[in-house]
Amino acid sequence: MADKKTAYFCMEYGLDQSFKIYSGGLGILAGDILKAAHDLNKPMVGIGILWRQGYVEQKIDEQGRPCDTYHEYSYDFLKDTGVTVTVKIRSKKLKLKVWLCDCFGNVPLYLLDANLPENGDRLITGQLYGWFNEERIAQEVILGVGGVRALRALGIEPDIYHFNDSHPMFAGFELISERMKAGESFEQAYQNVRKSIVFTTHTPVPAGNECHPLRLISYMSDRCGLTLDQLKFIGGSPFNMTVAGLRLSYIANGVAKLHARTAKKMWADVEDCAPIIAVTNGVHNGTWQNEKIVNAFNQNKPLLTEHEKIKKDMLAEVKRRCPGANLRDDVLTIGFARRAAPYKRGTLIFSQPEKLLPLFEQNRIQIIFSGKAHPNDLAGKEIVRKMYQLSVDYTDNVVFVPDYDMTVGRLLTSGCDIWLNNPVRPMEASGTSGMKAAMNGVLNFSVLDGWWPEGCEHGVNGWQIGGGYEGKNADKHDADSLYATLENEIIPTYYGDKNKWEQMMRASIEMSSQQFSAARMVEDYYKKMYSKKPR
C-alpha cells in the first residue's frame, strides 16, 4: 500500500543555521523530519512561516546580561510560487505570499509571508514567537488557516494533516469550516476532519500548554466561521490548544515512551481524547554526526584519536567566540547547552560547591555552557545571566557561549567529552541534543528522562543520574547522584582507562545511530500513525 501524502504543519523549521526561521528544539525536530522524509522518498510537504526577523539573537552586554537583537533577513534561494491567499485578522483581510523552499526536492516546504506592501500589519510574520498573546494568535491563524488555503491554491490534497505541537490548531478549524460551507453539520464536519489529523504533543507541563480566552480568539480570528459554543466544545474555556489537538485528531503521540505515559496521565480528564502513543524523537544523522567520527567508526579506527582532534577544533572556536576562555584540551569537558528554562536545572552541578570546586582546582573537569531564553522570559534570562557569571567567576574552568543556535549545538555535541542533562523528571519531553551527542561518541550523563531511559546502559554507553527518582528534595537527591557518579565513575574512567572510554564511545554510537535517527522516527510516523485507521 502506498504511503499517504502528509502535510506537516509547524511554527518553525531548523533546516540550516543560516536560515533563521527556527528557535530551538521544536524547529530542529521539524527540519530533521523533512530531511529524513526526503532521504526516504516519503510523500510529505511542509507548511510554515517565513519569519523575516527570525528568532532572537542574544548576546551578553557589558553588565553580563542577555541582550536581544533582531535583523531583517532575505533569502535568495526561495522561489515565488505566484500564489497568494488571504486570512482575516481582527476582521481585516491580510494577504499572504506563498514561498517555496525546495532544498529537499520531493519534500517541498511552503512558507507564508505577510511582509507585503498592501498589508497594514506586515510585521506579523516578523519575529518568531514575538510579542504577546494577540500576535501569537494572529501568527497561528496565518499558519493554520493560511496553510490550508495555500495547499488548496497549490492544488495539493493531503491525506493526512500532521500538527507538530498546538500552534497549527487553526488548520483544524479551517478544515471544519470548509466542510460546513459544503453543507455538513458541525458534528459531521468535526467527525470527518478528525479522520485526517494526527497530533504531536510536546510540553509535559500543564502551565506550558497554550491557553487563550475565547473572546480573544473570536476577536483575532472571527472564529474561522465557528460559533463560540463550537470552539468551546473543541478546546474548552479558556481555550486550551493542546486539548483541541487531542480532540481534533484520531491519534496523537508523545515524543518518548516516558513522555507518552506522562501525557496520558496529564490529559486523562480530556473527554473524547485521541489515543496517545509514543513515537520517540530522532535526529538527522547527516546533519548532526561528525564525518570524522562516522568514518573512524565505520572503519573500526580509534575513535578517541579523531575525537581529540574535533575537541581541539571546538575549543579553538570557543576561544574565538569567547576570548577570555582558558579551557584546556587535556581536561574532561562537560557540555550543557539547551533552552534556558528552570526545570532544566542548568546550574545544578554548582549546587554543592564544596564538592565541585576541588575538581576545578585539580583541573579534573571543565564546563561549557550555552543557552538562550525567550525575549519575554525573565526567569530564563536570569538563568543565562547566572551561567555567564559562572564563566566570569571560574575563568579557567567554565565558559558560556552566547547565542545558542544550530552551529553552537553541532560544535558542542561533537566536541565535548560528556553531555550533561539534569531536568526535573518527568519534565523533559525528549531532549534531542543528547541523541546528537550520543551519535558522536560524546557520552550522555543524564537524568532518566525523555529519551534516555530507552537508550541508557549505565557504565556501558553513558551514565544515568538519580535512578529515575521523582519526589521531594529532588534537587539534592539528583545532585548527590551527579557528584558521586562524576567522582567515582566518570573521572576515573576518563583519566585512568582510555580503552574503556573508547569502548563506551563505540557503544554510544551503536546504540543511537539507528534507534534514535530521524529516519527511524519518520518510518514510525508512517507505520504507527499515518496508516492507522481513524477512530
What pLDDT score does 535 carry?
A: 65
DSSP track, 396-431: TTEEEE-S--HHHHHHHHHH-SEEEE---TT--S--
Residue-wise pLDDT tens digits, 425-450: 999 999 999 999 999 999 999 999 99
Encode pLDDT of 269-286 as tens digits. Answer: 999 999 999 999 999 999
Any idea which residue has 516578523 for its cell?
A: 126
Q: Could you tell me if 293 and 441 are in contact, meaning their C-beta atoms sit under 8 angstroms apart?
A: yes
Closest CA to 114 of 82, 137, 146, 136: 146
Produce one character per residue of 40-74: b if its CB has 16 or more CB atoms within 10 Å, e if not.
Answer: bebbbbbbbbbbbbbbbbbebeeeeebebebeeee
Q: What is the pLDDT of residue 205?
A: 78
**Cβ atoms of 386 and 282 closer than 8 Å:** no
459 CB-near residues (< 8 Å, 6+ apart): 489, 504
* The pLDDT of residue 3 is above 80: yes
Helix, coil or strand: residue 439: helix
Mean pLDDT calculated for residue range 383-402: 97
Q: Which residues of 260-282 are buried (b: 16+ CB within 10 A; e: fewer)?
A: bebbbebbeebeebbebbbbbbb
Name residue 173's amino acid.
Answer: F
Q: What is the pLDDT, as a whole number, of residue 131?
A: 84
Question: pLDDT by residue (tens digit) across 25-74?
Answer: 999 999 999 999 999 999 999 999 999 999 999 999 999 999 999 999 99
SS3 199: strand
- The pLDDT tens digits of the residues spanning 221-264 come to 988 889 999 999 999 999 999 999 999 999 999 999 999 999 99
> Is residue 315 pLDDT above 70, yes or no?
yes
Please name every residue paired with 464 in a beta bridge, in sequence order, or none if there are none: 446
Question: Which domains, and CATH codes, for the chain?
Answer: 6-50+79-283+525-530 (3.40.50.2000), 285-516 (3.40.50.2000)
* C-alpha to C-alpha distance for 428 and 426, rounded to whole angstroms: 6
pLDDT for residue 208 is more than 80:
no
Q: Answer yes or no: are the C-beta atoms of 340 and 423 closer than 8 Å.
A: no
